Structure 1
Amino acid sequence: MSSKIKASLFNHLIEAERQLLEPEVRQSERALDALLDDEFIEIAANGTSFNKYQVLTRLPTEVVPQFYNQHFKGRMLSIDVAQISYQAAYRRSARAEFNYSLRMSLWRKNSAQEWQMVFHQGTPCAAFTISMDDE
């Protein structure tokens, strides 16, 4: 199988990744439920692991950080699993220092033929230049 991802799917998954950073999505259990697979697991930058239930109960109560993401890459791991990776910078408030990380997500097509995130991990990395154009 070719690992090349179709441009339409790649763009759809970038948009879905970015939706997960939007305040109205992060504060909506229903919106999060639609984007996250029931078997979802996240490994946070500090090594803590979360399942879907924990994310659905935690995210809606959090203050939404300021996020930038860029340099997306994508590939198909199988016919119904895609991998997306990118650089992310975030901070808790406009006065806070940025935290930099490399992010990786696995998206799986469910039985309704919709793509849901099944795995996400953020790994701290050295600071990088934040590009303000949409990459």
Structure 2
Amino acid sequence: MQKIKFDTLDTLISLERELLDPAVRESPQRLAQLLDEDFYEISANGLMFNKSHVLARLPREKVPQFYNQDFQGQMLAENLAQITYHAAYRRNAYSNLNYSVRMSIWRHRASGWQLLFHQGTPCPEFKLKYE
């Protein structure tokens, strides 16, 4: 595995955060651009979703409040990058935070980076750096 370049990691962090933006989550067109045709996700409860599932579900979901931090990355191949980070989210202002470790694999194509795989695994509570 190769070390990830700072500008590549910075780009992928921006794309991860874009996927949390309410305007993006409500836009099937933008989501379709960001998700690879072979995209799949394993949810915290072990369910698997492909691109068509996400495009049908995500625009209708209420956008939870997200925090993310401690991003790390590595290159898996010349056109594949893996990033991991800690995330905390709540569904509304009155609910408790849920904590997870997140991992994404991004594939670079001629059109740019697209999310190929994502998984969130519940983890113990951690201190938020920014809230």
Please tell me the TM-score bracket, short chain as reference: over 0.9
Given the alignment of the two structures, is residue 17 of structure 1 paired with residue 16 of structure 2, yes or no? yes
Letter of the 1:123 partner, please give it: T
SS in 1 for 2:31: helix
1:47-58 counterparts in 2 under 5 A?
47-58=46-57
Which of 121, 129, 132 is the matching residue for 2:130?
Answer: 132
The residue number in structure 2 matching 1:75 is 74
Letter of the 1:31 partner, please give it: R
In 1, Cα distance between equivalents of 2:126 and 2:15:
23
Deviations 1:26-57 (A, max 9, x none): 00001101110000000000101000000001
1:1-135 counterparts in 2 under 5 A?
3-110=2-109, 112-132=110-130
| Deviation, structure 1 residue 104 | 0.1
| Deviation, structure 1 residue 3 | 1.5
In 2, Cα distance between equivalents of 1:97 and 1:3:
38
Gaps of 5+ in 1: none
Provide the TM-score with structure 1 as the length reference: 0.95
Indicate the structure with greater strand content: 2
Provide the TM-score with structure 2 as the length reference: 0.98
In 2, Cα distance between equivalents of 1:98 and 1:3:
34
Identity of aligned residues (%): 55
SS in 2 for 1:97: coil
In 2, Cα distance between equivalents of 1:132 and 1:15:
16
| Deviation, structure 1 residue 113 | 4.4
Instruction: Give me the CA root mean square deviation.
Output: 1.0
In 2, Cα distance between equivalents of 1:99 and 1:5:
29
In 2, Cα distance between equivalents of 1:102 and 1:92:
17
- Runs of 4 or more, structure 1, over 2 Å off, are none
| Deviation, structure 1 residue 66 | 0.1
